[in-house]
Amino acid sequence: MQCPVCETASTRKFMLVEAQQYWRCDACMATFLDPGQRPGLDAERSHYQLHRNHPDDARYRAFLDRLANPLLQRLAPASTGLDYGCGPGPALAAMLTEAGHAVRVYDPAYFEDPAALEDDYDFVTCSEVIEHFHRPALEFRRLDTMLRPGGVLAVMTCFQTEDARFAGWHYRRDPTHVVFYRECTLRSIATARGWSCDVPARNVALMTKPSAALAAADTPGGIP
């Protein structure tokens, strides 16, 4: 079994919970549902309809502030970004637009706009998204191509902690969540791509792509 996050073969069966088989990668410490048990897009869409994440909901906006505030502190004025996996109510995109940035949205279930994936951006946000990725390594490669040099990938997901809590963990019980990340998992994703990774708040990671000058300096014969 190959790890869907780091693509190594350092995986083992981790836990069987309510007939669902979970695997653990000992290289990046990701935990993931057996690929044969992942839900289809229609099942995911049906479950999303149960969420009440309206762009005007003050409580939802306060939740998203945990990601928005540290990201906004890093962005230059009038940056351009993509809210990747925005869901049916792109509240985070609205908040960042209100702060003066140009934000496009993409979601395979609600805003499937292939053209949005062909552009590049100063930042990309994935709020409560990466736990849904069936092929995380592929998705992170795609996100890398969309980030300009110096760009920021802003991620929010509930970090896994103690294994003893996993079976009863609310995040695991969501049937659309198929991959679970620890802080060290996200740091390993960043390291593999040459990004830096900061964790400015609980369950939030900001991963920054090297600037063009830094990338040149790290290349043999490159000019800083």
Task: Kindly indicate the confidence band of residue 149, based on its pLDDT and cuts at 50, 70 and 90.
Answer: very high
Structural contact between residues 55 and 83, judged by C-beta atoms closer than 8 angstroms: no
Give residue 214's pLDDT: 60
Report pTM.
0.91
196-201 β-sheet, strand order:
102-106, 80-84, 121-127, 147-156, 204-208, 196-201
**Tokens linked to 10:** 């350092």
From the candidate CATH numbers 3.40.50.150, 3.30.70.100, 3.40.640.10, 3.40.50.300, the one assigned to the domain spanning 39-160+181-218: 3.40.50.150
> Would you list the domain boundaries of the chain?
39-160+181-218
159 pLDDT exceeds 50? yes
Confidence of residue 57 (pLDDT cuts 50, 70, 90): confident
Tell me, what's the pLDDT at 224? Answer: 37
What tokens were used for 109?
């279930």
Mean of pLDDT over the chain: 92
